[in-house]
């Protein structure tokens, strides 16, 4: 039996770099109420749901809005985001991730997507990789955001794989925290300094294989 039978992938920052488009759309929205959003602040929005991101930006700006106003602002941001990602294609897949997914499938390891994004299915379609996932759990299916493990626990349960045979790939510290809280292995994709809680941190998927995963998380 394979020691790891399920790999769950976050979307933004792991499969594709959409963080830059989230940033542009949030920054333009914030400009509308006279606030200048920085790239450092955008880092804190990674893996955070749309409405929670808006709440954070409003609190940084020291602005209060009613529930109705917030709904309109979140919708406005999403409209701009959808325009920005309209031309995403297969070429926007982050290097090596397609090859790694295909290797997992050839070995019989299940694959899942676990994202806070409500646009995850549209993005996967545009990237042409929807069919590479056994299960897709997105922000439309969950009620608790990362670092709550709900999104990953749901994915593993749908695949009938126990958490201790599941690895989560995440670019956000909150996502790593969520995976660990769910009893799963966590691989951080990005910088050691941001993702130190992970069992393993990789820069990206180029040259990364199932064998290197097993070796490095010492199962
Ligand atoms: P949406 P992930 C997250 O995706 C993004 O990192 C975060 O910046 C975004 O606010 C969130 O999705 C919600 O996205 O507005 O498209 O529903 O990293 O969990 O794949
Ligand atoms: Mg992410």
- Please give all residues whose CB falls under 5 A of ion ligand 2, grouped by chain where several chains appear: 10, 12-13, 47, 171-172
Residue whose CA is at the smallest distance from ligand 1 atom 14:
117
Mean pLDDT of 177-197: 95
Let me know if residue 1 belongs to a domain: no
Which of 46, 68, 84 marks a domain boundary? 84
Closest ligand 1 atom to the C-alpha of 10? 20
Q: In the predicted model, is pLDDT for residue 2 greater than 90? A: no
Report the alpha-carbon distance of residue 149 to residue 128 in Å, rounded.
27
Confidence of residue 217 (pLDDT cuts 50, 70, 90): confident
- Find out whether the beta carbon of 13 lies less than 6 Å from any atom of ligand 1: yes
* Residue 158: inside a domain: yes
| Nearest ligand 1 atom, CA 116 | 19
Rounded Cα gap, residues 53 and 184, in angstroms: 26
Distance CA 47, CA 136 (A): 16
Q: How far is the C-alpha of 30 from the C-alpha of 58, rounded, in Å?
A: 8
Q: Are residues 165 and 138 in the same domain?
A: yes
Q: What is the helix (H) or strand (E) element at residue 9, kind and residue range?
A: strand 6-9
Strand runs labelled E in 49-203: 110-114, 135-137, 166-170, 185-189, 200-202
Same domain membership, residue 110 and residue 183: yes
Which is higher by pLDDT, 43 or 202?
202
- Whether the per-residue pLDDT at 98 is higher than 90: the answer is yes
What pTM was computed for the model? 0.95
Q: Are both 77 and 33 inside the same structural domain?
A: yes
Provide the percentage of residues in the chain whose pLDDT is more than 90: 95
Tell me, yes or no, whether 50 lies in a domain: yes
Report the nearest atom of ligand 1 relative to the CA of 175.
19
Q: What is the mean pLDDT of residues 124-150?
A: 97
> Residue 81's pLDDT is what?
98
Confidence category of residue 1, pLDDT binned at 50, 70, 90? confident
My answer on whether 209 and 103 are in the same domain is yes
What is the domain-level CATH number for residue 45? 1.10.150.240
Summarize pLDDT for 48-94 with one digit per residue, the tens. 999 999 999 999 999 999 999 999 999 999 999 999 999 999 999 99
219 pLDDT above the threshold of 70? no
- Domain assignment present for residue 174? The answer is yes
- Cα angle, residue 191 at apex, residues 185 and 197 outer, rounded to 5°: 35
Q: For ligand 1, atom 16, name the residue with the nearest CA.
A: 117
Residue nearest (by alpha carbon) to ligand 1 atom 13: 117
Tell me, what's the pLDDT at 196? Answer: 87
Owning domain of residue 142: 6-16+90-216
For residue 27, being part of any structural domain is answered with yes
Alpha carbon nearest to ligand 1 atom 1, residue: 117
| Shared domain check, 132 and 64 | no
Judged against a pLDDT cut of 70, whether residue 28 lies above it is answered with: yes
Residues 155 and 50 in one domain: no
Would you place residue 128 in the very low, low, confident or very high pLDDT band (cuts 50, 70, 90)? very high
pLDDT above 70: residue 218: no
The domain tally of the chain equals 2
Same domain flag for 190 and 107: yes
CA–CA dist 87, 115 (Å, integer): 20
| Catalytic sites, residue numbers | 10, 12
What CATH code is carried by the domain that includes residue 170? 3.40.50.1000
CB of 177 closer than 6 A to ligand 1?
no
For residue 200, the model assigns a pLDDT of: 96
Task: Report the 10 Å Cβ neighbour count for 183.
Answer: 14
């Amino acid at each position: 039996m394979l020691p790891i039978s399920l790999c769950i992938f976050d979307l933004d920052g792991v499969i594709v770099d959409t963080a830059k488009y989230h940033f542009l759309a949030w920054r333009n929205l914030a400009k509308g109420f006279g606030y200048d959003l920085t790239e450092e602040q955008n880092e804190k929005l990674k893996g955070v749901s749309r409405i929670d991101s808006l709440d954070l930006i409003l609190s940084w700006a020291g602005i209060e809005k009613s529930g109705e106003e917030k709904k309109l602002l979140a919708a406005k941001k999403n409209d701009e985001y959808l325009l920005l990602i309209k031309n995403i294609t297969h070429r926007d897949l982050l290097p090596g991730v397609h090859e790694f997914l295909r290797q997992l499938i050839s070995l019989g390891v299940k694959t899942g997507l676990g994202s806070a994004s409500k646009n995850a299915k549209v993005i996967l379609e545009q990237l042409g990789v929807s069919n590479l996932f056994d299960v897709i759990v997105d922000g439309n299916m969950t009620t608790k955001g990362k670092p709550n493990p709900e999104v990953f626990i749901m994915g593993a349960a749908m695949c009938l794989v126990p958490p201790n045979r599941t690895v989560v790939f995440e670019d956000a510290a909150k996502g790593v925290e969520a995976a660990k809280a769910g009893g799963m292995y966590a691989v951080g994709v990005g910088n050691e300094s941001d993702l130190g809680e992970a069992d393993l941190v990789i820069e990206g998927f180029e040259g990364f294989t199932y064998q290197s995963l097993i070796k490095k998380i010492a199962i």
